[in-house]
Amino acid sequence: MKLKQRMVVLCAVLLLLGLAKIFLLDGGEGTAASRRDLRAFRKMEAGLSLSRGARLTNTLQSPWEIASQWVGPREVYPEETPELAAVLTSLSSARIERADVGYKGTQLKALLVLDGGQKVVFKPKRYNRDYVVEGEPYAGYDRHNAEVAAFHLDRILGFRRAPLVVGRYVNLRTEIKPVATDQLLSTFLMQGNNTCFYGKCYYCRESEPACAEGEIMEGSLTLWLPDVWPLQKHRHPWGRTYREGKLARWEYDESYCEAVKKMPPYDAGPRLLDVIDTAIFDYLIGNADRHHYESFQDDGGASMLILLDNAKSFGNPALDERSILAPLYQCCMVRVSTWNRLNLLRSGALSSAMRQALAFDPIQPVLTEPHLAALDRRLSGVIATIKQCMEAQGPDNTLIEDRMNLPHP
């Protein structure tokens, strides 16, 4: 066979191998990685529906002790959590022992302590479900229901990096005011027959309180991570400037990812792939406000990027803010496991899974149908972006095998 013919045959073989890899990872079951990811997906599906009113049995541990033991360097909760429904039920019903103004931040929240000493963050309802937040993609108040929905999306995607969240109704007169600190009590007021409070934060104003319907306030509770896992805050490399007329470098430099790859902790370890996973997560929920992020302290870059503060999400179902995906389309790389999971959620499976997961929550319906439809539409956009990367540089340079499972201490 002549050299030219051999080269043609070799190129054809390489092309077929590349196409085979794309096929096997595009929802197929032919590789060990995709088979493993399919088994994980089936486990997620089996545990997606949660029982209302579930209680812990056959254990002397509190729900807070169980949830604390779940936390590890690479996950907030494990793949299989038969006690999850009981822990969330306890979050939504445990007696409130203390109420105080929220920890530092820009948005209104309250810090509650539940029976047994468990700290939680309470974010009050500010909008009706069908309210559309116009303007910049990071505009508006925090959305409490977005925290609930984001937690369940984290479960569905298999990331397991978001703290536990549940919706809850609280009676401000009987559950909060009797145990509130003077600082929190001083921010309570009445608007007509409705009890309101404005708390203490950067943007908190007496003129813009959160109000209950009468005395009953809807909100979300986020479980505080264990104190044995102190957090470290990082500036997001793809953060916005929030200044009119001033762009961040990533907004005009298409080679920006190459510079990020040279900076710790993105030059080694899982952190850059975590950032890209987070970009996909944030694009799906419409969160353009992740200017900082948290990991565990002294992690040497091995800790997960923790998906905290997801309340600037699900504001406008018609807006698909593509710039949120900049880490993905500028770096053109993604975990194999993420790619496989995304493909398993195509064709309406994502919105169907969200409906199933959210049906458990006490404040359901958590999302309106337009927001659920937006999840499926945005997922198609993510998959199309990854396919463009594979076409430009090949699947071997795009799909990265990275499955860090660090042991619990």
**Omega before residue 265 within 30° of 0, cis:** yes
Strand order from edge to edge, sheet including 118-124: 96-101, 110-114, 118-124, 216-223, 165-171
Q: Which of 228, 251, 252 is nearest to 323 (CA)?
A: 251
Three-state DSSP class for residue 97: strand
pLDDT digits (tens, 9 = 90+) for 132-159: 999 888 899 999 999 999 999 999 999 9
pLDDT digits (tens, 9 = 90+) for 173-223: 999 999 999 999 999 999 999 999 999 998 999 999 999 999 999 999 999
Q: Per-residue DSSP letters for 158-185?
A: T---S--EEEEEEEIIIIIGGGB-HHHH
403: confidence class by pLDDT, cuts 50, 70, 90: low
Q: Give me the percent of the chain exceeding a pLDDT of 90.
A: 78
Residue 367 has pLDDT above 70, yes or no: yes
One-letter amino acid at 371 equals H
- Give the mean model confidence (pLDDT) for residues 94-123: 94
Q: Which of 10-24, 183-197, 296-310, 321-335 has the lowest mean pLDDT?
A: 10-24
Is 289 assigned a catalytic role? yes
Mean pLDDT of the chain: 90
Residue 346 has pLDDT above 60, yes or no: yes
Flag whether 309 is marked binding.
yes
Contacts of residue 242, Cβ cutoff 8 Å, sequence gap at least 6? 138, 291
pLDDT digits (tens, 9 = 90+) for 269-291: 899 999 999 999 999 999 999 99
- The residue ranges of every structural domain in the chain are 64-223, 231-400
Q: What is the pLDDT of residue 26?
A: 53
pLDDT digits (tens, 9 = 90+) for 375-395: 999 999 999 999 999 999 999
pLDDT digits (tens, 9 = 90+) for 2-29: 555 555 444 444 444 444 444 444 544 4
Flag whether 350 is marked binding.
no
Flag whether 222 is marked binding.
yes
Length of the chain in residues, anyone?
409
Q: What is the pLDDT of residue 43?
A: 87
Q: What is the pLDDT of residue 66?
A: 96
Q: What is the pLDDT of residue 389?
A: 97
Three-state DSSP class for residue 385: helix
Flag whether 225 is marked binding.
yes
298: confidence class by pLDDT, cuts 50, 70, 90: confident
**Omega before residue 409 within 30° of 0, cis:** no
Name the packing angle between helices 271-285 and 144-157 (round to 10°).
130
Query: Which member of 154, 282, 289, 361 is catalytic?
Result: 289
Higher pLDDT, 322 or 14: 322
Which segments of 4-160 are extended strands (E)?
A: 96-101, 110-114, 118-124
Question: Please, where are the H alpha helices in 181-325?
Answer: 182-185, 256-260, 271-285
Place of tokens 């907030």: 76
Distance, CA of 197 to CA of 170 (rounded, Å): 13
Flag whether 224 is marked binding.
yes
| 242, two tokens | 């929030």
Contacts of residue 73, Cβ cutoff 8 Å, sequence gap at least 6? 296, 299, 302, 303, 304, 406, 408
Residue 31 has pLDDT above 80, yes or no: no
Contacts of residue 131, Cβ cutoff 8 Å, sequence gap at least 6? none
Q: Which of 238-242, 250-254, 402-406 has the lowest mean pLDDT?
A: 402-406
- Helix, strand, coil proportions of the chain in percent (round to 5)? 40, 15, 45
Place of tokens 């929905």: 149
Residue 325 has pLDDT above 60, yes or no: yes
Flag whether 123 is marked binding.
yes
Flag whether 325 is marked binding.
no
- For residue 152, the number of C-alpha atoms closer than 13 Å in the C-beta half-sphere is 30
Backbone φ and ψ for 121, nearest 5 degrees, come out as -105, 125
Distance, CA of 111 to CA of 222 (rounded, Å): 10
